[in-house]
A and B are shown apart, each in its own frame.
Chain A
Amino acid sequence: MLRLIRAELKKMTVSKFFLVTAVLVGVVYIVMLLQTLGFFDPEGYFSTASYENKLFQQYQGQSVDDCKNEIYNEYSRLESASTDDNQAPGQYGPYAYQDRLIYQKLHEQVKYFDTYHDTIKLVLQNAMKVKQKQLDLSPYTNEFLVRQSDRVIEAYQYKKDFSIYNSSGWTNWLGRASISVMDFLLLAFLVVVIAPVFCSEHEKGAFYLVFSSRRGRGKTFLAKLLACTIFTLAFTLILLIIKFAVYSLRFDMFAGLLQPLQSIPDFQMCPYSINILQTLLLLYLFRILFYLVVVFFTLLVSCLFKSVLFPFIIGGAMSISLLFLQQYAAGYQVGFSDINFSKFYLFKDLQTYSFTALYNPLAFFEKFDVVNLFGFPVYRLTVNIALTLLLIAVLITLAYFAYTRQVSLSSWNPVRLLRKKSKEALS
């Protein structure tokens, strides 16, 4: 089986077309990454960056309480010394100007850490209130609200220990993690590579040998499926590593890796107790799920039509339309305050399901967000993943039947069918 998978992977990747496209896509990807980080900026972005990292390293790893006074003081001293004269770099030592900006950053972070627990305290108090008052509505609502409040308390009660690090790299990374045109080019690349896997045999007539071999259709299907999955995983992982390497050139990316996600202001309300590394891995896991949905959809189309052209067109069209979907009909909009007062809000909740949300799952990490599942609060993220897995299972099952069916050698081709029908109608 392993050798079969390896052979399938080889079939996918050993071709001039693949190599050329892969190199091209890779180069464009890296250039665009460097571009977004100002690599081609003549102003010496990188020297500033390294200076910034150095200053941060002075305080790095110290707990907030230990150094907050020093930072507050130093910041106000620099602020008060700042006049129009020393705004320009160079006059009061080479870094006087940057010093002030960087201390501003430091100061912002320390202030955020300092006030974080007060904000959370308010949320907890609110939840306690809901729980104790037992709002006088229908019995179901009560139950759900109480359970939800329990969840809130459970999520936020643990005190977070923050220590100082330069968070601008991760803020930048997460801020740019949303969908972009480039990501869809990469998706299209994936589709182009995956599309022929399940139908090249039919195009070339090699299926006679494949289907009549001992391993047969079932095993071959499995091997191809796993090969596609492995390829998608490897592809996403390589992109992740490239991105990390490029970001590391600009920011000190390792410093914050083990800090709680809540140390980044946008994720103050994150209900999960996870650090940045874990967030990153989850983010990419979800992105892989998203890719897999597209991949398996492409695969189903290619099994159905047994021709490379259709999956190319449909896969390509799908990735482009997803781009628009994501931008113009973005996933869902449910806020923290959105409380469902009826028993079965499930349908409405599921209406908002969209697997594209998994491409940019940051929204799931920004707020406390649950679905009312028969009176029980379940994190929307969990529901979303479950539904996506279900979708993948359905796609695979359909593809399996399409691939292994033994009805006829001629494939079900709508164009051919239409032509035949119209010919019949004419005669």
Chain B
Amino acid sequence: MAKIKYIEHNGKEHVLEVPNGWSVMEGAVKNLVPGIDADCGGACACATCHVYVGEEWLSKLEPKSDMEQTMLDFASEVKENSRLSCQIKVSEALDGLVVRMPESQH
């Protein structure tokens, strides 16, 4: 279980307990946090689960797979700290993680 803070584009914050083994995307979708579409349901095939990860967390997350990196390369409004939230697996180590949602997923 990890406590994750999701911040909507408009600044609204949601702090949620997400079970280990789930993805950060699932934590949002299953708790009605708006701003993540996740059209492909986590298959790393749609890039509609894009989030910005708190800078201090970048080095602590498992690195991106090549597939995630390239899917992200072509998403909109991509920054240094962009990730596909379906590819971040939750564990105790992520307790306190902060992610921000982009303005739009398309």
Partners in one complex: no
Residues of A within 8 A of B (CB): none
